[in-house]
Structure 1
Amino acid sequence: MKFRITPIDGGVCAVDGIYASGVNAGFKQDGYDLGFIRSDKELDVAYLFTTNKFQAAPIKYVLNRGIKTTNFILANSKNANAMTGDEGIKDIEEILEFLSQKISIKNPIMSSTGVIGVRLDKEKIKKGIEKFDFNEKNSNKFAKAIMTTDSFEKEIAFEVEGDFGKFRIGGVAKGAGMINPAMATMLCFITTDANIPQNEMQEILKEVNEVTFNAISVDGDTSTNDSVFLMTTRDGGYEREAFKEALKQVMQKLALDIVKDGEGATKAVAFVVTGAKSKEEAKIVAKNLTTSLLVKTALFGEDPNWGRIASTVGASNVECDEKRLKIAFENIVVYDRGNIIFDEETERKAHEIMKRREFKIYVDLGIGEGAFTGYGCDLSYDYVKINAEYRT
């Protein structure tokens, strides 16, 4: 099946009948902090949530109701509404009841991000709702409204054409810290008009998630609020492989934006692991490399300390052999199946590669056919500063 994927503007609003915007409700001194996505019609929805045992109230609200369709998402930043017990869910119910007096909503969803362990300021949110222009189509305002420590908004959209007709797909995400996905990570909202069967939505979302959001890490911490939503109007064409590829490109772009925007990060690095006994073992190694503090600090210092990479591989409890292992910084091989290739010239070349904002580190275990690519960033002084002062 031949198809063409073309970048377009609009983010989640690239899909006809989808509206979005953001306002300042007073959680931030300036800028947007409360936003919405709404639709003229009910949307079929699929979602993935954090595997953190202490799921936030907005996630519990959706799961308790078994929501499968919706026409409205309300999202706030600066407060996660997590670890707030039954009261946190009651706060959502009160807010959505107030929202229902302003506009017709069906199975509304609320999504939150920010500080854990604090009740929502319902009055601020209600006053923010009063400011909404429900007919505005401004995906960028919504993207800014869900930002916490993010330094830039994250959004993307494509139009896909083929023998099946055409469809559009757009996405918005936030995330920079507390990023170590165990399903998805951060908050992500994807809209499309693809006529995808309901029974395929969850399956494809989960499959694509494994190689995108589940392949990144900033700091090794899994949030209480991690959520990714996929919603469709079903007004466009559909072909499974075309949709899967377009969804992958949307999620891949947003996931890599999160890595690039990692709190205090100066490097975005792909760890390409091949030759593992299985894909599962390759993924274990890749994830361990993205979360190793010693590897991350070496990245920040632009130090091609390949021994830290080798040590992390060996500590991953996967099948490996130092006489089969190969490590390279881009095309500069530093260790090759028992042979140390790390003279002064090689180190200089590897160091030059590590000065780049983005680069790849290749790890070939030489055992089997398993492969997986993980995406991570360095650990800088600013990460400590940002998180030491997170509530202040």
Structure 2
Amino acid sequence: METLTINNVWMMICTALVFFMHLGFAFLEIGLTRQKNTMNILFKNIFIITVGLLLYCLVGFNLMYPGFAENSLGIFGFGGFGLSSPVVEGSLDLTYNKGYTYWTDFLFQGMFAATAATIVSGAVAERMKLGPFIIFTIIYVGFVYPIAGSWKWGGGFLHTLETPFYDFAGSTLVHSVGGWAAIVAVWLLGARIGKFKNGKTQAIPGHNIPIATAGVLILWLGWFGFNGGSVLSADPSSTSLTLVTTCLAAAAGGVLAFITSSILYKNYDLTMFLNGILGGLVGITAGADQMSPTDAIIIGSIAGILVVFAIAMVDKLKLDDPVGAIAVHLICGIWGTLAVGLLGNLAGIHQFASQCIGILTYALTCILSSFLIIFTLKKTIGIRVSEKEEIEGLDNAEHGINAYPEFRLNEQ
């Protein structure tokens, strides 16, 4: 009983840390975009966490953990609407899990569920209508994410492969699921006015880099819960190793992104430094419990380099991602998932093959589902604000108020 209490308290602390990450995402997004869209971005982030939790309670949790029958295909299951805790003799069944109670399980997993849509929020910032984004979030967080998550974390077909697909804390199941949807959304939405002129990429600076920096540091702190909680207990050896690998990958990602961008662009770009830290965090997330400190530094370093080149590649493809979400969450999520088969305790050809199967499975599922949702919205109610609204800012167009009414600037 004492061990369960210790484990459960640790899991609740991690739940709080993952919740705190949503403030980090909000700060990062508003900091890297223009002030005339601040209210809109904050509204979306608040909507995602509130509605995401409600949807996960009503349908998501039991879609993600349906309890697949022994001979089922492990593709789809549903445990019923709402939450129904296991009860024995009128009290909560404390044998539900050796590491935590049913309620803690729901809340911890619910925090993860909202993150996928938050990734998309940053990528489509400054030009997507709020209404269609809300509809997309409801469908993607409420149904697509938990069904896809059940294939691994819910004991579905990817978990039952001869060599099971491995994703410790969500490089693919969370970050790439959001990243694939982000790239589809950005493609269907089009670039912001002024982003590409005469075939050349034009920088559109964020209005508050100090806030963006605070957002990244909050996210790094929150990742202690994201990865540390994914141990699913307070086991000292596993938890402490996971936190060490997480921190080292983040540090390596930031340093290598800063060095790479300095060599390529001949300046010290703080935003590349920040996205390199996030890339390192995303990269280590798939195998944080299986890596040595040296492995973590290698994974983070490669992620940091990938971020710089991926951001440049996204620009060359004329895709407008204001916060670098595609580079950080999709590209580094893929790399981190592959790294499980290349480095650490699980490295091997069979594990690498399983990792590839998992990546391709989620790529196809997320691309098709997000395209179907967003394309339908585009052809029916429209997904992009008017040119006038975009120039004036979404704060005025969608909310009728500015985030900084006393410091309004004339922005392009």
Larger Rg: 1
Please indicate, yes or no, whether the TM-score normalized by the shorter chain is above 0.5. no
Higher RCO (CA 8 Å, separation ≥ 6 residues): 2
TM-score by length of 1: 0.31
- Normalized per residue, the structure richer in helix is 2
